[in-house]
């Protein structure tokens, strides 16, 4: 009996051991680490046979060759620089860490902003880690790795003692930017005026020589300059805006498994602080990476599916501007003209809603400005002309002082003074700038025309002293005599209206500068601008000619 009991106990113990030792159909490890291990194991077990197959996924071909070709920047301080054969920077170290995680060697290929996407598409590189902002437009061209490995923002840099704390301090200021920067539209919408440069590298020098009081560019770009004591002592970051996540990217086709592996590696690197430590080692800003580390530590994100969870990953920046109803027809016309005549005409102002809106309001404001300036010039010429020929010496000398002052002030300075006075009374807006420009231009030209009227009054008065003319007749005859001068200054006033853009008046020059700051077609745009203003001035010349004839005909016997 006892033996039987021992036998049963032994059988039960063996059964228990067998059960414990046997693999259960247990749940798969949900961690990204396990998912990466499984993916790489699957690929490696298929080697070397899979290497001979056509149309390999790039992950397979990387494992077959033992090398990953990574496109990096050659000169982007702190992120990717090359001195001889030595490369360094945050992106370089990230590239090396990824290669180590995949167990392969890294081969660096030089890319720039223009070549990085074509090189992925042409299979000349497997992966791009090259300061590439992730936006919806690029989503159509490459497959971005999620989560993002960095996030930049546009930063506004200016002299330390310059009081710029928020957006209201930005309105009305001139900011140096690079053409095509996506954040320019935001600056325009905040009432800033833009001074355009082709290359970002020009901006620090223009800040140093005080050509620019403020410059806007990626914080990643300025990060290097702020490591220079001379620069950091003089300048500081005033505002940050337009955050853009930076993504590593692989080709859209043939990189499904590579992309998946990199998603998982990116998750792991955030969770384990690899990105963060690498950034610190390269003196790159770490605010974003610190926040991301906390995100990827959360249980709901730290899973194999974390990179597709919208609660964990950042969305791509929406870069597409809303097209106008005419956009397709305009593009078709541009293509037709280019193919049939070779003329490269680009009309960005007709293709997107923000550009069209700026363009149309620019045309209307320009016409308002021209008409307002002509009216102001005429009225102020009459007032100053009367005052300058007044028999009251106080009034006469006051008017003379004002005339000499206005004649001695360059028009740009007169505009700035008018704008400064109005801005002291009202909050800055483009309408205030427009309102300031009209009397400033009117005064500047009206002073000269007024002087001509007063000189004519003096001569008519001297010639007709014995005729006892009433004041109206005297004035009317003087107007006829000074008609040529009045018309000359009216034309000059119309020609001067585009200068109002200097103080932020939203006329056409200002509008088109804003449009070209975020779109292409500068040559066409500025050619159209020149044609528009020349045509407006010619119409003014024609209208003024009629006006002069009217004034002169009115007093032929005089």
Smaller CB separation from another protein, 203 or 457? 203
- Asked if 112 interacts with another protein (CB under 8 A), we say no
Question: Of the candidates 155, 184, 513, 519, which one interacts with another protein according to CB under 8 A?
Answer: 513
Q: How far apart are CA 417 and CA 429, in angstroms?
A: 16
Smaller CB separation from another protein, 75 or 542? 542
What is residue 135's DSSP assignment?
B
Smaller CB separation from another protein, 85 or 198? 198
Question: Of the candidates 338, 426, 538, 549, which one interacts with another protein according to CB under 8 A?
Answer: 538
What is residue 391's DSSP assignment?
S
Per-residue buried b or exposed e for 125-156, using 16+ beta carbons within 10 Å of the residue's own CB: bbbbbbbbbbbeebbeebbbbbbbbbbbbbbb
Backbone φ and ψ for 171, nearest 5 degrees, come out as -55, 130
Q: How far is the CB of 46 from another protein (least distance, A)?
A: 51
**Cis bond leading into 415, ω under 30°?**
no
Candidates 186, 216, 213, 189; CA nearest to 200 is: 216
How do strand 86-88 and strand 80-83 relate by DSSP bridges? antiparallel
- Asked if 401 interacts with another protein (CB under 8 A), we say no
Q: What is the DSSP string of 490-557?
A: HHHHHHHGGGGGGGT--SHHHHHHHHHHHSS-HHHHHHHHHHHHHHHHHHHHHHHHHHHHHHHHHTTT
Distances (CA, A) of 521 to 120, 215, 337, 339: 27, 23, 14, 17
Question: Of the candidates 61, 152, 403, 525, which one interacts with another protein according to CB under 8 A?
Answer: 525
- Asked if 343 interacts with another protein (CB under 8 A), we say no
Taking CB under 8 A as the binding criterion, the range among 37-45, 63-71, 125-133, 408-416 that sits at the site for another protein is 408-416
Candidates 507, 502, 503, 504; CA nearest to 529 is: 507
- Asked if 501 interacts with another protein (CB under 8 A), we say yes
Tokens at 162, concatenated: 């310059």
- Asked if 201 interacts with another protein (CB under 8 A), we say no
Q: How far is the CB of 417 from another protein (least distance, A)?
A: 5
What is residue 345's DSSP assignment?
-
Taking CB under 8 A as the binding criterion, the range among 97-105, 123-131, 238-246, 406-414 that sits at the site for another protein is 406-414
Taking CB under 8 A as the binding criterion, the range among 123-131, 232-240, 471-479, 526-534 that sits at the site for another protein is 526-534
- Asked if 451 interacts with another protein (CB under 8 A), we say no
Smaller CB separation from another protein, 70 or 537? 537
- Asked if 497 interacts with another protein (CB under 8 A), we say yes
- Residue 110 has a CB neighbour count (10 Å cut-off) of 17
Q: What is the DSSP string of 436-498?
A: HHHHHHHHHHHHHHHHHHHHHHHHHHHHTGGG---HHHHHHHHHHHTHHHHHHHHHHHHHHGG
- Asked if 409 interacts with another protein (CB under 8 A), we say yes
Q: How far is the CB of 122 from another protein (least distance, A)?
A: 26
Q: How far is the CB of 243 from another protein (least distance, A)?
A: 28
Q: How far apart are CA 183 and CA 75, in angstroms?
A: 22
- Asked if 213 interacts with another protein (CB under 8 A), we say yes
Bridge partners of 156, per DSSP, are: 216, 239
- Residue 106 has a CB neighbour count (10 Å cut-off) of 19
> Which residue do the tokens 């028009």 mark?
411
Question: Of the candidates 47, 412, 426, 553, which one interacts with another protein according to CB under 8 A?
Answer: 412
Candidates 429, 388, 424; CA nearest to 407 is: 388
Taking CB under 8 A as the binding criterion, the range among 121-129, 140-148, 348-356, 419-427 that sits at the site for another protein is 419-427
- Asked if 523 interacts with another protein (CB under 8 A), we say yes
- Asked if 161 interacts with another protein (CB under 8 A), we say yes
Taking CB under 8 A as the binding criterion, the range among 11-19, 69-77, 204-212, 475-483 that sits at the site for another protein is 204-212
Smaller CB separation from another protein, 462 or 472? 462
| Helix count and strand count (H, E) for the chain | 22, 13
Taking CB under 8 A as the binding criterion, the range among 49-57, 223-231, 351-359, 536-544 that sits at the site for another protein is 536-544
- Asked if 233 interacts with another protein (CB under 8 A), we say no
Question: Of the candidates 142, 212, 276, 399, which one interacts with another protein according to CB under 8 A?
Answer: 212
Question: Of the candidates 541, 547, 555, 558, which one interacts with another protein according to CB under 8 A?
Answer: 541
Smaller CB separation from another protein, 8 or 404? 404
Distances (CA, A) of 380 to 42, 376, 399, 446, 486: 85, 6, 11, 5, 11
Q: How far is the CB of 518 from another protein (least distance, A)?
A: 15
- Asked if 499 interacts with another protein (CB under 8 A), we say yes
- Asked if 495 interacts with another protein (CB under 8 A), we say yes
- Asked if 165 interacts with another protein (CB under 8 A), we say no
Smaller CB separation from another protein, 294 or 523? 523
In the complex, the residues that contact another protein under the rule CB under 8 A are 161-162, 176, 195, 198, 206, 209-213, 404-405, 407-413, 416-417, 420-421, 424, 495-499, 501-502, 509, 513, 516, 522-523, 525-527, 529-530, 533-534, 537-538, 541
């Amino acid at each position: 009996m006892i033996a039987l009991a021992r036998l049963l106990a032994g059988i039960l113990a063996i059964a228990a051991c067998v059960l414990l030792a046997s693999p259960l159909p247990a749940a798969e490890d949900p961690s990204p680490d396990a998912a990466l291990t499984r993916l790489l194991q699957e690929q490696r077990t298929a080697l070397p046979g899979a290497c001979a197959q056509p149309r390999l996924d790039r992950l397979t071909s990387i494992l077959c060759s033992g090398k990953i070709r990574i496109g990096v920047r050659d000169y982007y301080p702190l992120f990717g620089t090359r001195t001889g054969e030595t490369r360094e920077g945050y992106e370089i170290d990230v590239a090396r860490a990824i290669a180590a995680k995949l167990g392969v060697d890294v081969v660096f290929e030089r890319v720039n902003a223009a070549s990085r996407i074509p090189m992925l598409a042409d299979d000349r590189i497997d992966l791009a880690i090259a300061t590439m902002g992730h936006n919806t437009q690029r989503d159509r061209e490459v497959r971005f790795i999620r989560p993002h490995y960095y996030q930049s923002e546009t930063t506004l840099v200016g002299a330390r003692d310059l009081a710029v704390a928020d957006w209201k301090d930005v309105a009305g200021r001139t900011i140096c930017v690079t053409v095509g920067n996506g954040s320019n539209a935001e600056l325009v919408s905040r009432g800033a005026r833009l001074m355009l440069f082709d290359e970002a590298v020009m901006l620090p020098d223009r800040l140093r020589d005080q050509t620019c009081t403020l410059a806007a560019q990626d914080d990643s770009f300025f990060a290097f300059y702020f490591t220079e004591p001379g620069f950091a002592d003089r300048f500081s970051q005033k505002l940050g805006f337009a955050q853009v996540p930076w993504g590593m990217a692989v080709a859209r086709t043939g990189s499904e498994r590579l992309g998946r592996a990199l998603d998982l590696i990116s998750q792991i690197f955030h969770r384990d602080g690899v990105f963060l430590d690498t950034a610190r080692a390269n003196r790159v800003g770490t605010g974003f990476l610190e926040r991301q580390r906390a995100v990827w530590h959360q249980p709901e994100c730290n899973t194999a599916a974390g990179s597709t969870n919208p609660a964990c990953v950042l969305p791509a920046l929406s870069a597409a501007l809303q097209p106008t109803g005419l956009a397709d027809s305009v593009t078709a016309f541009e293509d037709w003209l280019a193919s049939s005549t070779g003329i490269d005409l680009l009309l960005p102002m007709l293709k997107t809603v923000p550009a069209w809106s700026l363009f149309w309001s620019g045309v209307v404001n320009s016409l308002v400005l021209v008409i307002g300036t002509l009216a102001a010039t005429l009225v102020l010429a009459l007032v100053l002309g009367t005052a300058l020929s007044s028999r009251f010496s106080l009034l006469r000398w006051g008017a003379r002082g004002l005339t000499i002052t206005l004649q001695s002030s360059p028009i740009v300075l007169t505009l700035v003074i008018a704008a400064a006075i109005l801005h002291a009374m009202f909050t800055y807006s483009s309408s205030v700038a427009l309102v300031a420009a009209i009397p400033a231009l009117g005064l500047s030209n009206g002073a000269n025309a007024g002087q001509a009227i007063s000189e004519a009054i003096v001569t008519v008065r001297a010639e007709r002293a014995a005729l006892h003319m009433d004041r109206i007749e005297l004035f009317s005859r003087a107007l006829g005599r000074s008609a040529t001068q009045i018309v000359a200054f009216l034309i000059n006033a119309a020609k001067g209206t585009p200068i109002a853009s200097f103080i932020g008046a939203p006329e056409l020059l200002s509008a088109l500068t804003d449009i070209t700051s975020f779109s292409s077609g500068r040559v066409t745009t500025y050619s159209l601008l020149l044609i528009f203003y020349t045509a407006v001035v010619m119409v003014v010349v024609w209208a003024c000619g009629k006006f002069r004839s009217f004034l002169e005909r009115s007093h032929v016997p005089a």
